[in-house]
Amino acid sequence: MGFADIAAAPPPAPGIVAGSAGRLLAWLTQRLDAERDRWGLWLPVALGGGIALYFELSFEPPLWVGPLLAGLGLLLAWLGTAGLPVRPWAIALIAIGSGFGIAAWRTAGVEAPVLARHYGPAVVEGRVVEVALLPEGRRVVLDRVVLKGVRLEETPRRVRLSLKRGGGERLATGDRIAVTATLSPPPGPATPGAFDFQRYAWFMELGAVGYAHGAPTVVAAGRPSGFVMWLDELRRQLIARIVAVLPGDAGAMAAALIAGDQSGISQPTMQAMRDSGLAHLLSISGLHIAFAAVLVMGLIRYGLAAVPFLALRFPIKKWAAAGGALGALFYVLLAGAPVPAQRAFLMLAVVVLAVLTDRTAVSMRLVCWAAVVVLLVQPESLVGASFQLSFAAVVALVAAWEAWQPWRVRRAEGGASGLPGRLAGHLLASLFTTIVASVATAGFSAYHFNRLSLAGVFANLVAVPLTGVWVMPWGLAALLLLPFGGEGLALVPMGWGIEGIIRVAREAAAWPAAAAVTPAMPGASLWLLTLGGLWLCLWRTGWRLWGLIPVTLAMLLGLLRTPPDILVSADARLIGVRTADGGLLLSSGKVERFTAETWTRRAGVGSPGPWPVGTESADGRLRCDALGCVYRRAGKRIWIASREDGLLADCAGADVVVSVVPVRGRCRSVPKVVDRFDMWRQGAHAIWVGDNGAVRIESTRQIRGDRPWVPKPETRPRWQATSDDGPAAGTRPADSRRSRQNLR
């Protein structure tokens, strides 16, 4: 039968369609009944679905939407008491509404003033509430901020400042300081779809970021007020004592492993850790929490066992378990309670509770309830890479070990014993764990960081045992010796192990194709990856393999997505264009370096090429002169104007105009114009030119919509012309005075 016969065939009878639908529904009901004991595992998925739905919106919904959805779920649950089979769907709707409402209320609860425009250089005064180590200095967070000329109701609640080396070594939490600094509002995404620092800053209550121009002056020495500030000061002192014994990257990595502060690690070492697949070792997670708990439990239990009166009359095992949980809790708080540490501690807490009540804990349920607690407390963590990578790895590992359990039982019954057999088993288990965790997090790493580590399996086989057997025990010993001033006795051998990890990372990262650079993936890929991964891991029967379909689609969407042809930064100081071979040319190598790095990474290229000056690019797409540049693709001519006096002459023949200066209606004949005012109002822009000549333009504001963390444009722009640094940097020195007058 050909296509014509199929098209001419009559539609199936209604009875046949109804019968097929009925059989499909009966089959699905049978499958779901077979998985009844796994239904509860989807509760945090529904809760997270409501949170994700909230963050996906392009507008801020009313606060009553979440409670309304949850109320509808309660109504469905009540109908379920009348015999209607809707109770599971009612519970899912309640969870979705709860997640949506929690996210909305959390957003409203952390609302704080955000700096409206650039400030300074001027004196910034405030109280130090956090001090972080950087390779080139310090970074401090201030509250109770005073900005001269800024009204109190417009003053940010918290400000983050970078201090150069030698400018903040003696600062302590609680000190009130004054420093000459330049502040700006938290920057938006470098390109549509990139990491949204403004959203991150909103939930951190950061209203401004900036850098100091000199050393700060301590106006009044202070002391930490409250438990959180006391912990921050304790962390600062701990890091200072660690780096005093272990300078350089070894000390910075020791601070990351013990105190959860990765900011002091140099960029080359951090990149080597990422490329080698070892960056997860720097995150306080299950491995670190387990060692802390086991050490404390062992000390308490063996200490109590040395007293026969206590050992024979009291449940010292339960006492030790409770003490281990408290020790792990202190460790989590000391490390700043990052999301992986929260997840690991919550799982540990449930295990300890099971020990105290003589019950057996179920691993997958542990993970799910840990996710529920984290999402209830910090719903915004769902959209962060830390939450996604942490839970993806743990859920996959638990599911994989559940599937492997029968094989392990058969192997044990088969009598595999002896030292060689046990060593082979441990090696196989380590390899299996590494492969599962690497595969589970690969898609999320590609989405968030645009890199896939291909050497991670081999590097982890060496670095993970080294961390667990040598580095972490010495780190915990350093914590115990710290009150007595003997931390150096443990930190020195810990540093030997860390140097070994760094060497492994650098060797693995230097392998050919150790890390693959991947282009940016669309948001739909993240949804499909999550759904497919959960379907694979949460179900037990054969239909779990259906999860491979959305995972495959997610990766295909990533491969099919085309990077933008032209990129423009929000302040118009940097422009990038895509070459015929997929490379990237940047208008400057001196300005907007973070933006340039983001563009390069998301384009999936190793390094950008040079911008042609007075000539054309190697592929002939881009040609520049003193007035600007022309980019040609698929028969379209895009004029990139860097000076006002070149607009009128070149607008007539252009299909699109991208101007780093205001056009002010002088290019009415051009179908599409993006000028300095558009960049000021809408943020960074990306332009695609299809093979058929179709032009698509997106801005960061268009993608994000009208959300609380997206700043509202002023009624009148305020900026200064930038220095001459290529076609995208403004005007030449001879024209700079006139341009400043026009831009005011």
pTM of the model: 0.84
Does one domain contain both 648 and 582?
yes
End-of-domain residue from the set 510, 539, 561: 561
pLDDT in tens, 348-368: 787 777 777 766 555 788 888
E strand or H helix at 681: helix 676-682
Does one domain contain both 169 and 48?
no
Does one domain contain both 433 and 531?
yes
How confident is the model at residue 717, as a pLDDT? 47
CA-wise closest residue to 372 among 62, 48, 6, 128: 48
Q: Is residue 19 part of a domain?
A: no
Q: Is residue 314 part of a domain?
A: no
Residue whose token pair is 């010495």: 474
CB–CB of 336/260 below 8 Å?
A: yes
pLDDT in tens, 426-450: 677 777 888 888 888 889 988 998 8
Q: Is residue 319 part of a domain?
A: no
Per-residue DSSP letters for 456-472?
Answer: HHHHHHHHHHHIIIIIH
Domain that holds residue 95: 32-109
End-of-domain residue from the set 109, 135, 159: 109
How confident is the model at residue 648, as a pLDDT? 65
Per-residue DSSP letters for 321-375?
Answer: HHHHHHHHHHHHHHTT--HHHHHHHHHHHHHHHHHHTT-PPPHHHHHHHHHHHHH
288 class by beta-carbon count within 10 Å (0-12 exposed, 13-18 middle, 19+ buried): buried
How confident is the model at residue 731, as a pLDDT? 33
Q: Where are the beta strands (DSSP E) in 3-157?
A: 119-134, 137-147
Does one domain contain both 87 and 133?
no
How confident is the model at residue 298, as a pLDDT? 80
Does one domain contain both 575 and 555?
no
Question: Of the segments 204-213, 259-268, 354-363, which one has the largest average pLDDT value?
Answer: 204-213
Does one domain contain both 557 and 572?
no
Predicted confidence band at 725 (pLDDT cuts at 50, 70, 90)?
Answer: very low
> Considering its fold, how many domains does the chain have in total?
4
Q: Is residue 316 part of a domain?
A: no
DSSP state of 280: G
User: What's the rounded Cα separation, in Å, for the pair 218 and 199?
Assistant: 31
For residue 172, the SS3 value is: coil
Does one domain contain both 661 and 728?
yes
Angstrom CA distances, 462 to 425, 458, 503, stand at 16, 7, 11
Peptide bond into 308 cis (omega under 30): no
Half-sphere exposure (CA, 13 Å, Cβ side) for 459?
29
Q: Is residue 506 part of a domain?
A: no
At residue 726, does pLDDT exceed 50?
Answer: no
pLDDT in tens, 291-337: 778 778 888 888 888 888 877 888 888 888 888 888 888 888 887 77
User: What's the rounded Cα separation, in Å, for the pair 503 and 240?
Assistant: 24
Does one domain contain both 197 and 88?
no
Per-residue DSSP letters for 13-51?
Answer: PHHHHHHHHHHHHHHHHHHHHHTGGGGGGGHHHHHHHHH
How confident is the model at residue 96, as a pLDDT? 95
pLDDT in tens, 415-428: 555 666 666 766 77
Does one domain contain both 557 and 574?
no
